[in-house]
Structure 1
Amino acid sequence: MTSGWLVRRVLLALVAALGVVVIVFTLIRLVPGDVVTNLIGLEGNVSAEQQAEMRRLFGLDQPIIVQFGQWFGALLGGDLGHSLRTDRPVLQDLLMRFPVTLELTVLALLFALLIAVPLGVVAALRRGKTADFLSSGFVLVGLAAPEFWLAILLILLFSLKLGWFPPNGFVPFWDNPAANLWHMFLPAFALSLSLAAAVTRIVRSSLLEVLSQDYVRTARAKGVTERSVVYRHAMRNALIPVITVVGLQVGNLLGGAVIIEQLFGLPGIGRFALEGINLRDYPVVQGAVLWIATTFVLVNLLVDVLYALVDRRVAYA
């Protein structure tokens, strides 16, 4: 791995994140209505002159290219703008809400790996048996069922019927760690299921492929125990594709967090972005999308680096 390759990947990551924001910047302005329309809907009849003045104050009377130039110029100075609804700095709100989304994503990733890796290993070692069929059923349901549907079922069962977990709400970790984890368990588990299904399938197929390699047969011929063959020889190579899949699926976790945070009432970036979309609060939507896109491309960059560290056969020039 060379420094030149790393610099190119960082630049490409920034360009990709900016490209996403440009698309969102354009598309959200093509949706009928704007923040002025929402305000009028809440506050009653407003004259056409007053509407025009409100749009002028918000800068919405300018051509879209001018609006983008003003926003991008402020972005280069580290300013994501102010909310059109609350006049609060968007960056300040993102920094306040990011820990919630980050905790949700990390917990969901942890749950997914805790479920998927053992399940995939058992399915590979018990190929064609009951455990393998049960694993395949879990993969099928996890990949086919929408996250919001699974989340609603979990709320109905574990919150409303059994009362084990709260249906919504949030407690900051530093205020009460136990209450925080109690509130975060169900949304993180709901978000993790689709990723767990995808990773289970990859672990199973990858381990089956590795176990058929010559060096594994050689190790068995030398009398190495089956446990050592699987966990010391095969697992390291079998988990290489898993790193790639997990890195790519982080984007799905961030996307799924939008719905999960809304369903469970979590004050994260996903819910913040959804509220911005509903209210046509352009700076909020642009800032949230830029933040999520940048996080996604940085995670992909980290996956590329880890891939080269785990598999010495991979070389980036």
Structure 2
Amino acid sequence: MSPGWLLRRVLLALLAAFGVSVLVFVLLRLVPGDVVTQLIGLEGNVSAAQQAEMRRLFGLNEPIWQQFAHWFWALLHGNLGISLRTDRPVFQDLLLRFPVTLQLTGLALLFAALIGLPLGILAALKRGKSADLLSSTFVLVGLAAPEFWLAILMILLFSLKLGWFPPNGYVTPAESLAGNLRSLFLPALALSFSLAAATTRIVRASLLDVLGQDYIRTARAKGLPGRAIVVRHALRNALIPVVTVIGLQVGNLLGGAVIIEQLFGLPGVGRYALEGINLRDYPVVQGAVLWIAVSYVLVNVIVDVLYGVIDRRVVYS
């Protein structure tokens, strides 16, 4: 991997982040209403002069290009702005909430790998048999069922009926590690279903393609054990498409975390963004979306780097 390639990827990531910031900034201001109208609904009757003064204090009376210039200049200095509702720095709130979202998506990735990889391998090795049919059924259900629907079913069954897991709330690892895992188990499992299904499908297809290659036939002709052929030769070469799918699906995980965090009452970045959208808190929404976008772009850079680690034939220049 050359330094020039890495520099280009970083520059492209910064360009993508800038594009996202512009798009979110403009779209937010096209939505009817603003934070002042939301506050008026909470406070009661407010005169037009008071509304105008509130918009002046929030900087909403300036032209949109000027508002963006102020926000972007602050962004270049590491300042994501101040929440219009709480008067707290957005960056500080994101730092507090991001570990929750990171832990949730990390567990979802782990569950997806633990479910998808074995099922995909089993389906490829048992092609056309009952195990393959069962895995295909799981893929169909996992890709078709909405995450929020699965989450509601899990809450009804495992929380309200069986009482195995709490229906909502979050326990920090410092308070109780076991309680932390219990509070995140159902949300992460619900979030992982679609990725587990996609992983199962791509592992099966990729492994079947690799198992049909000439070098696999040669290994079998030499008398190598079947497990060694699958693990040491076939599986490693089949992992590149799998890594690609997982990397691309991270964006879906981050997007799905918005609904999952709201359903389970998790204080993550997704719920923070949703609260900002509901109350037209522009700095919160802009900061949260930009944070998620940068995280997604960084994951894609990491995926590109992993290509070279998994397959030495992949060289970036």
TM range (shorter): over 0.9
Q: Which position in structure 2 is the counterpart of 1:2?
A: 2
Aligned residue for 1:239, secondary structure, equals helix
Measure how far apart 1:91 and its partner are.
0.3
What is the match of residue 153 of structure 1?
153
- How far apart are residue 241 of structure 1 and its match? 1.0
Instruction: Return 5+ residue gaps in structure 1 as ranges.
Output: none
Query: 1:15 corresponds to which letter in structure 2?
Result: L
Distance 2:129 2:104 in 1: 35
CA offset digits 1:214-254 (Å, max 9, x no partner): 11100111111111111111111011111111111111100
Q: Distance in 2 between matches of 1:84 and 1:209?
A: 55
Amino acid in structure 1 at the alignment position of 2:302: L
- Paired residue type of 2:161: K
Give the count of matched residue pairs: 317
Please state whether the residue corresponding to 1:298 is helix, strand or coil: helix
1:257 aligns with 2:269: no
CA distance in 2 between counterparts of 1:18 and 1:122 reads 43
- Of the structure 1 ranges 302-311 and 92-101, higher mean CA displacement relative to structure 2 is found in 302-311
Paired with 2:110 and 2:229, the residues of 1 have a C-alpha distance of 25
User: Given the alignment of the two structures, is residue 213 of structure 1 paired with residue 203 of structure 2, yes or no?
Assistant: no
CA distance in 1, matches of 2:219, 2:44: 78
**Per-residue displacement from partner, 1:180-236 (whole Å, max 9, x unpaired)?**
001100000000000000010000000000000011100111111111111111111
Q: Normalized against structure 1, the TM-score is what?
A: 0.99
CA distance in 2, matches of 1:82, 1:17: 20
**What's 2:315 paired with?**
315
Equivalence for 1:239? 239
Percentage identity across paired residues of the two chains:
77
1:281-304 CA distances to partner (integer Å, 9 max, x unpaired)? Answer: 000000001100000000000100
Give the alignment's TM-score, normalised by structure 2: 0.99
Runs of 4+ in 1 over 4 A off after TM superposition: none
Deviation at 1:175, TM superposition (A): 1.7
**Deviations along 1:76-115, whole A, 9 cap, x unmatched?**
1111010000100000000000000000000000000000
Partner AA of 2:112 in structure 1: A
C-alpha root-mean-square deviation of aligned residues, in Å?
Answer: 0.6
- Name the residue aligned to 1:50: 50
5 Å matches for 1:288-299? Answer: 288-299=288-299
Whole-angstrom CA distance in 2 between matches of 1:291 and 1:95 = 10
